[in-house]
Amino acid sequence: MTPFSPLVSPVSAPPALDAQDLRKSYGRGKRRFAAVQGVTLTIAPGQVLAFLGPNGAGKTTTIKMIAGLIRPDGGWVNIAGKNPHRQPQALQGVGAVLEGNRNLYWRLTPLENLEYFGVLRQMSGKMARRRGQSLLASFGLLDKQQVPVQKLSRGMQQKIAIAPP
């Protein structure tokens, strides 16, 4: 008996993330330095990536380029076939980006953080505020909505960090 082989080969899904030859430099003249030099990543739908490296290796800069927050000097990014720098709706499929302890703005409140990230995802300020309050209620943090994030427990901070705006 031979193993089953389909007559038509399955169609593979396009990459969830395709970043090619990302480059970013800062400074001018002799003080110019390359923060990111030729980073290429391809991630399939459902795949998870842990992006590790020493301080100053360009991890945060790379993530910011992928998330559409800063433009690369070279290379390109596609999220589910869309360029987040030209098509912000590309980021709607991104669930969470966690950067260790720096994934929230420490001096802002949980509600201010959720509003900020909601507006980045093209929500109106009013809608982002309503969504933020709803998420805080879902996570049992509505009573903490006006407390600076730096004063919350690590567990509370993580709940806020994974709350999708």
Per-domain residue ranges for the chain? 13-94, 100-165
pTM value?
0.56
Distance of CA 82 to the CA centre of its chain: 15
Q: Mind listing the pLDDT tens digit for each residue in 125-163? A: 999 999 999 999 998 999 999 999 989 888 888 888 887
21 pLDDT higher than 90: yes
105 pLDDT higher than 60: yes
pLDDT tier at 5, thresholds 50, 70, 90: very low
- pLDDT at position 134 is 93
Q: At a CB cut-off of 8 Å and minimum separation 6, what does 141 contact? A: 110, 156, 159, 160
- pLDDT at position 76 is 94
Residue with tokens 């790379």: 62
- pLDDT at position 100 is 55
Residues 163, 139 contacting (CB under 8 angstroms): yes
Q: Mind listing the pLDDT tens digit for each residue in 26-50? A: 888 888 889 999 999 999 988 888 8
What homologous superfamily is domain 13-94 in, according to CATH? P-loop containing nucleotide triphosphate hydrolases (3.40.50.300)
- pLDDT at position 99 is 55
- pLDDT at position 95 is 63
Name the average pLDDT for the chain.
83
- pLDDT at position 45 is 87
The neighbouring-strand residues paired with 82 are 79
